Structure 1
């Protein structure tokens, strides 16, 4: 028979070794989670900023498309007063534009009347179903942008003179040569674009 002292010794971890291993694993896991959480937060913040910037670009692009499609078509407002093809102040504008979609070939003009204005913290685009409005005519509103803290417009004549409204006092031009759009959005700062209007023929 073998002596007990000659039997192979069983290998294993002591309780202290297990406790130390678990503690080290917990520390490493906590550090890894903290790093991963920071990366995920930064990624989410970047995605949010990219989405907000895309919304601003879309809004400015819509304004540019409307201005570049301007039609020299005056309208009558709900009070029966004549309004020019483009009427603007430093905080909003209204214009007649070409390109009113008519896929069904309905018997109507392919020009629409659209307007931009800031209401509280929202930038709105309004469009009217008809050009010459009746007292009860209501526009359709589309929210283009949120978190807008400022919306400013400037109008430039052919000689480069700047105005805060259009038609400009003492100026006989039917439309400005350029319009500067300035939008300030919370968290993204102020964006400024100078948009050039095309030369167009008057509509009889």
Structure 2
């Protein structure tokens, strides 16, 4: 009887031994599949992270660009007809400019500490070494030791071109225009309005964005015939 019972239980015991774990081949196949999935997942994650980094960089660049252009537009819109005296004692026009810089007097300089100073400010925007800079002076009529406060507004600016539109809708490469660019005050017997600056056009070439064009309205600034050397 005991021998028969032992023979009866042999088969289930053998079956149980066959179901223990995986074979070496099965483990190798599973590891290979896992490795392929891991590589694909890492590649996809790497692409997502690269795209996110590029998007963040573009967003940061765009925010800086918008901030700089907003500041420039605000300053230009507050330009006033107030000539200044430079540190050499020479008088400079209220608004001067060439294709790569503008300099002018603006209103609206905030004075939260109620200091004894004017609310007018002399500012200058210029392009140098692929950067857009802004300078301002603490006084309008400068002494020999007057120094400008200067900072970078934008980087990766590969080019800057500025043009000046007068109230007769004529474009100029500099302001004030030189004597040859100014139309006579009398044309066909009709007296024209005095020459004045109406707007400026800025064309910035940004490394990551290409060409950007802005047309900025200027408060009425009287013009005058002046040579290029006079405005430098």
Under TM normalisation by the shorter chain, which class is it? over 0.9
- 2:85 is equivalent to residue 79 of structure 1: no
- Aligned residue pairs, count: 200
Partner residue of 1:178? 199
Partner residue of 1:141? 150
Tell me if the contact between 2:84 and 2:140 (Cα under 8 Å) persists in the aligned partners.
yes
CA RMSD of aligned residues (A): 1.6
Tell me the distance in 2 between the aligned counterparts of 1:200 and 1:152: 21
Partner residue of 1:164? 173
Tell me the distance in 2 between the aligned counterparts of 1:65 and 1:6: 90
- 2:65 is equivalent to residue 44 of structure 1: no
Q: Give the alignment partner of residue 155 of structure 1, picking from 164, 169, 190.
A: 164
Which structure has the highest helix share of the two?
2
Unaligned ranges ≥5, structure 2: 183-193, 223-232
Larger Rg: 2
The 10-residue stretch of structure 1 (7-16 or 22-31) with the greater mean CA deviation from structure 2: 7-16
Q: Give the alignment partner of residue 218 of structure 2, picking from 187, 190, 197.
A: 197
Runs of 4+ in 1 over 4 A off after TM superposition: none
> 1:200 deviation in Å?
7.9
**TM-score of the pair, normalised by structure 2:** 0.82
Alignment of 1:123-134 (within 5 A): 123-134=132-143
Tell me the distance in 2 between the aligned counterparts of 1:6 and 1:138: 98
- 2:209 is equivalent to residue 188 of structure 1: yes
Q: Deviations over 1:87-122 (max 9, x none)?
A: 111110100001111112111111000001112121
Tell me the distance in 2 between the aligned counterparts of 1:79 and 1:152: 28
Tell me the distance in 2 between the aligned counterparts of 1:123 and 1:14: 68
Q: Deviations over 1:141-184 (max 9, x none)?
A: 111001111111100011211001011134452x4111001111
Tell me the distance in 2 between the aligned counterparts of 1:200 and 1:165: 14
> 1:5 deviation in Å?
3.0
Partner residue of 2:11? 5
Over 3 Å counting, the alpha-carbon distance change for 1:139 and 1:116 in structure 2 is same
Tell me the distance in 1 between the aligned counterparts of 2:140 and 2:107: 12
Q: Secondary structure at the match of 1:195?
A: strand
Unaligned ranges ≥5, structure 1: none
